[in-house]
Amino acid sequence: MVDVDEFVEEKIAEVGSAIGDENAVIALSGGVDSSTAAALSYEAVGDQLTPVYVDTGLMRKGETDTVRETFAYMDSLRIVDARDRFLDALEGVTDPEQKRHAIGEQFIREFETVAREVDATHLVQGTIYPDRIESEGTIKSHHNVGGLPERIDFDGIVEPMRDLYKDEVREVARELDLAMAERMPFPGPGLAVRVLGEVTAEKLAVVREATHVVEEELESYDPWQAFAAVLGKATGVKGDNRVHGWVVAVRSVESRDGMTARAQELDWETLQRIQSRITGENENVARVVYDVTHKPPATIEYE
């Protein structure tokens, strides 16, 4: 990317001419990529663009409110409360790829409803360069909106950031004054890939709170991603009783593009503070462990 002002101007013009007088939709997740693509495209076509935020219940703590506040200036913003429908779709599903598939399907259904309502002919996507590389391989069914263009017959797909790396997207986000500019990446399937096995409301509540603690406590380490995951159950002691509680893993990694990553070296006091907050705030957590594995051989997420 040559110059960020120029890039923004050029892309606004490009999006404007691609959409013309028609209507477009974008799936807004609250992450830096989709937020940047939405803000940039909204500059170009205003309310001809409908940003759709689906509250899957798999989002980080406070996410829906952040999105509502940040994009309050967009009259066309749609917030869809689909939390119960996602939990239903995930009931009994334990295989990681099937989980992604169930989430993707439900997401498309929710998104499709709005796209049809607003007569959208164009789809704007926040795809960035590393997404295209990973999707070309068989690493995973990467994007929860990956199946959209096949399902809905759009006249055009607009991807203003398709050639950018993450750090370049952040520059654009800063240029557009987006609060999300410095946020860590968050996977499309959300907290579902941070809960091993079946996704339940209880596990989601544990992972959501624990992730919030980890993000807060590790902010000064400036990680690429830092989060918690729920691994399973193990024995612990609460008061005088032995209990069977959740095992929460803490992960914090450095990376440039997510393709490889290094586990961060954290000091003991920080780790202990995280442990004590997570076990203190949730009495069903019996154990907190720190993941020291790089990528490869591990992936960043747990599923």
Per CB under 6 A, residues contacting ligand XMP are 100, 140, 142-143, 185, 187-189, 193, 225, 258, 295, 299-301
Q: Which is nearer to ligand XMP, 7 or 186 (CB)?
A: 186
- CB count in 10 Å sphere of residue 162: 15
User: For residue 40, what are its two tokens?
Assistant: 């940039």
What is the smallest separation between the CB atom of 129 and ligand XMP, expressed in angstroms? 13
Q: Which two tokens stand for residue 186?
A: 């968050």
The smaller minimum CB distance to ligand XMP, of residues 193 and 286, is found at 193
Sequential DSSP letters for 127-196: --HHHHHHHHTTS----TTTTHHHHS--SEEE-TTTT--HHHHHHHHHHTT-GGGGPPP--TTGGGGGB-
d(CA 70, CA 92): 35
Angle at 73 between CA 69 and CA 76, to 5 degrees: 105
Nearer Cβ to ligand XMP (68/140): 140
Residue with Cβ nearer ligand XMP (76 or 144): 144
Which residue's CB comes closest to ligand XMP? 188
The least distance separating ligand XMP from the CB of residue 101, rounded to whole angstroms, comes to: 11
Give the shortest CB-243-to-ligand XMP separation in angstroms.
Answer: 31
Nearer to ligand XMP, 26 or 286 (CB): 26
Report d(CA 192, CA 172) in Å as an integer. Answer: 29
User: CA quadruple 4, 222, 138, 232: dihedral positive or negative?
Assistant: negative
Question: Whose Cβ is closer to ligand XMP: residue 8's or residue 123's?
Answer: 123
- In whole angstroms, the minimum distance from the beta carbon of 144 to ligand XMP comes to 6
Could you tell me the smallest distance in angstroms from the CB atom of residue 200 to ligand XMP?
20
Tokens of 65: 């409110």
| Residue number with CB closer to ligand XMP (145 or 248) | 145
Cβ 112 vs Cβ 75: under 8 Å: no
Distances (CA, A) of 187 to 93, 103, 142, 242: 18, 12, 9, 35
Measured in degrees and rounded to the nearest 5, phi and psi for residue 102 equal -60, -40
Q: What residues does 232 pair with on adjacent strands?
A: 247
At closest approach, how far in Å is the CB of 242 from ligand XMP?
Answer: 34
Q: Least Å distance between CB 156 and ligand XMP?
A: 22
- Nearest CB to ligand XMP, comparing residues 160 and 188: 188
How far is Cα 110 from Cα 295, in angstroms, rounded to an integer?
34
Q: How far is the CB of 188 from ligand XMP (least distance, A)?
A: 3
Residue with tokens 């939405």: 38
Q: Are strands 241-254 and 262-263 parallel, antiparallel or unpaired?
A: antiparallel
